[in-house]
Copies of this chain bind each other. A is one copy, B any other.
């Protein structure tokens, strides 16, 4: 059934393409959210918050298409696993969008004050850059099924974890002079970036598994 198979493959490719587009949207959201938190920029924060709904709808649309493909094409084995995996990836990427949204909400809540004391600006900036870099990579991994890059993302996640540890160390290793509220917000910010990165790793592992049939 070369024709049927080809229609199915086209549909699968179209789902992957949408997942890549979703990563781009989420990457922009996290980049903007980081700008908002570093610059106490209310306008950008509001933009990220308003766009979260669109990310949710985008995911909902992708999921409906995946379920529709399963219902019409009745795939089995590898093809079914690829579609179930796509469902899980869309959930991971949407969740990454939620974390961008959470970061932006802290920026909005703290406004007009900032959320990040001067000595931690570099750390949060690095976490934001790492988040964007990781998201761009999972876009490439989904599009090309590049397993080498999928493995690279594990290293990027280690870097994010190290930045997260630096952040917590800055809170506890010296006397803290910025008050409890700032400490609470930084604790949450650290967790948001770290979890964002975990979901990216989850996506890259799913692609790795689809390609290799086993986990790295």
Contacts and interface: CB of A to CB of B under 8 A. Distances in A.
Interface of A: 67, 70-71, 74-77, 80-81, 84, 87-88, 91, 168, 171-172, 176, 180-181, 183-184, 187-188, 191
A81 B77 CA distance: 19
7 contacts: A67-B80, A70-B70, A70-B80, A71-B75, A84-B87, A168-B184, A187-B188
Contact of A191 (B71, B171, B188): B188
A205 to B, nearest CB: 13
B80 A71 contact: yes
Given A74-B74, A80-B71, A84-B67, A184 B187 contact: yes
Nearest to A180: B176
A180 B191 contact: no
Contacts of A191: 188, 191
Contacts of A67: 80-81, 84
Nearest to A76: B71
A75 B180 CA distance: 54
A172 B70 CA distance: 51
Contacts of A80: 67, 70-71
Contacts of A88: 91
Q: Closest 10 CB pairs between A and B?
A: A74-B74, A71-B76, A187-B187, A184-B187, A176-B180, A172-B181, A71-B80, A180-B183, A172-B180, A171-B180
A1 to B, nearest CB: 16
